[in-house]
Amino acid sequence: MRLTLYVWRQPSADAQGDFVKYDLSDVSPDMSFLEMLDVLNANLEELGKEPIVFESDCREGICGTCSMVINGRAHGPESKTTVCQLHMRSFQDGETIYIEPWRARAFPVVKDLAVDRSAFDRIIQAGGYISVRTGSAPDANEMPIPKVESDLSMDAAACIGCGACVAACPNGSAMLFTSAKISHLGLVPQGQPERTKRVKKMVEQMDDELFGSCTNYGECQDACPKGISISFIGRMNKDYMKAKLIEVEEPRKEVESQ
């Protein structure tokens, strides 16, 4: 296969970026998209030129590292497929392909196709966990969980934190990501004690990071390589409304001295 690539090159966060054109021949349809870029980068290295920066790690579609917009679509044309699992047989001989980084206010470009997604970590740090000190857990079978709820929780937990939902959303919203974690933990009994606090804190953090709001485009669900359902956003909104409406009675702070 022969391809014409237009790749976004940007030397640093502050620098002006632009598309650079590359012609590539001898592309095998069995190559993954990233292997195609490896070949291009090897060509550049042979010429002593700086290769294109893009991030990837597991190349099995689970670590969530790879992130690029291909012909306007986050992770490219195949549904439920990360870039690393996308193969060149999805493209035509002679095709022109545009490759860009995630575009979102909360994900500034680091270099070329790499962006800074640390905002996601800070959303999890705000409350995306169940507080259980190591060693203090009861026997795992002491808390039966109906299979349906457990499976639904797993559906939400499948999120790989790649950020495609944000990149695909016209508003740059992180609500699919945030709602997936809130639903994963909110659907199981272990997650109940912190449920109210969790949703408040995570939503506030999401807003502080300058992610946009959801206006029901549904692009996030479409771009998600793990098929996370937009219905989790509804679940999050419900939890958030409840958390905001119901005044939680605070226990007395000071402890009376004996």
234 binds other proteins (CB under 8 A): no
Say how far apart CA 114 and CA 131 lie, in whole Å. 33
Supply the minimum distance, in Å, between the C-beta of residue 26 and other proteins: 9
Token output for 83: 């870039």
Q: How far out from the chain centre does Cα 10 lie?
A: 22
Pairing of strands 3-9, 96-100: parallel
**According to CB under 8 A, which one of 16, 21, 25, 131 is a site residue for other proteins?**
131
Strand, coil or helix: 7: strand
Choose the binding region for other proteins from 123-131, 171-179, 210-218, 239-247 (rule: CB under 8 A): 123-131
Contact 93, 167 (CB under 8 A): no
141 binds other proteins (CB under 8 A): yes
CB neighbourhood size of 106 (10 A): 23
**What are the residues facing 163 on neighbouring strands?**
none
Toward other proteins, which CB reaches closer, 96 or 118?
A: 118
34 binds other proteins (CB under 8 A): yes
Closest by Cα among 241, 238, 71, 83 to 160: 83
Say how far apart CA 27 and CA 36 lie, in whole Å. 7
Strand, coil or helix: 53: coil
Q: Which of residues 171-230 bind other proteins (CB under 8 A)?
A: 184-185, 188, 190-191
1 binds other proteins (CB under 8 A): no
**According to CB under 8 A, which one of 44, 95, 217, 218 is a site residue for other proteins?**
44
Supply the minimum distance, in Å, between the C-beta of residue 62 and other proteins: 5
Number of residues this chain uses to bind other proteins (CB under 8 A): 81
Say how far apart CA 194 and CA 6 lie, in whole Å. 47
Q: Which of residues 154-173 bind other proteins (CB under 8 A)?
A: 154, 157-158, 160-161
17 binds other proteins (CB under 8 A): no
Supply the minimum distance, in Å, between the C-beta of residue 16 and other proteins: 16
45 binds other proteins (CB under 8 A): yes
Toward other proteins, which CB reaches closer, 12 or 92?
A: 12
**According to CB under 8 A, which one of 4, 92, 96, 125 is a site residue for other proteins?**
125
Contact 201, 146 (CB under 8 A): no
**According to CB under 8 A, which one of 130, 204, 217, 237 is a site residue for other proteins?**
130
Strand, coil or helix: 20: strand
Q: Which of residues 49-68 bind other proteins (CB under 8 A)?
A: 49-51, 53, 55-65
Strand, coil or helix: 32: strand
Toward other proteins, which CB reaches closer, 31 or 243?
A: 31
Toward other proteins, which CB reaches closer, 72 or 193?
A: 193
Token output for 126: 């705000």
